[in-house]
Structure 1
Amino acid sequence: MKHYYFSLNISYQAYLAHYSGAASSILVATEQGLRLQLPASRFRPFLSQIGVKGRFRLITDQNNKFIKLEML
């Protein structure tokens, strides 16, 4: 398994624009300097009234297939 760490700070309104179809994915920069594109829907469990804010860990298999996204 591979682990990628990144921080995200998206306002509630900006997230709704992403999720509603204006843009269906979110581009993040990992702490290792990689750029990852993830479906906006993967962040829905972490959405609050202030948006999506925090540090996250993305876990993938060896073929970079999504396994789990966690807020740390």
Structure 2
Amino acid sequence: MQQLILDLALPAERYLAWYQGRAERVSMVSRDGRRVSLPAHHLRPFLTHQGVYGSFVLQFTDEGKLIKLERLAD
């Protein structure tokens, strides 16, 4: 199992593109510089009226399959 730390600042207006069918994935860069492309629906549990903000840990298999995405405590 591997994990990455992600710091997200995704305004609701940008996330709206997923709802409107203009985007399927969210691309971001982890703290260690690795680029991550994640299906947008995995961020939905963290969506507020402002968007998706905060630090998250992304756990995945050696093959790149998502295991868990969770928000880190502030």
Instruction: Output the TM-score relative to the length of structure 2.
Output: 0.91
Unaligned runs of 5+ in 1: none
Normalized per residue, the structure richer in helix is 1
1:70 matched to 2:70? The reply is: yes
- Secondary structure at the counterpart of residue 32 of structure 1: coil
- Runs of 5+ unmatched residues, structure 2: none
Q: Is the 8 A contact 1:26 1:38 kept in 2?
A: yes
The answer to whether structure 1 residue 28 and structure 2 residue 42 are counterparts is no
Percent sequence identity over aligned pairs: 39
Q: What amino acid is the match of 2:2?
A: K
Q: Does 1:7 align with 2:7?
A: yes
Aligned residues: 72
Q: CA RMSD in A?
A: 0.9
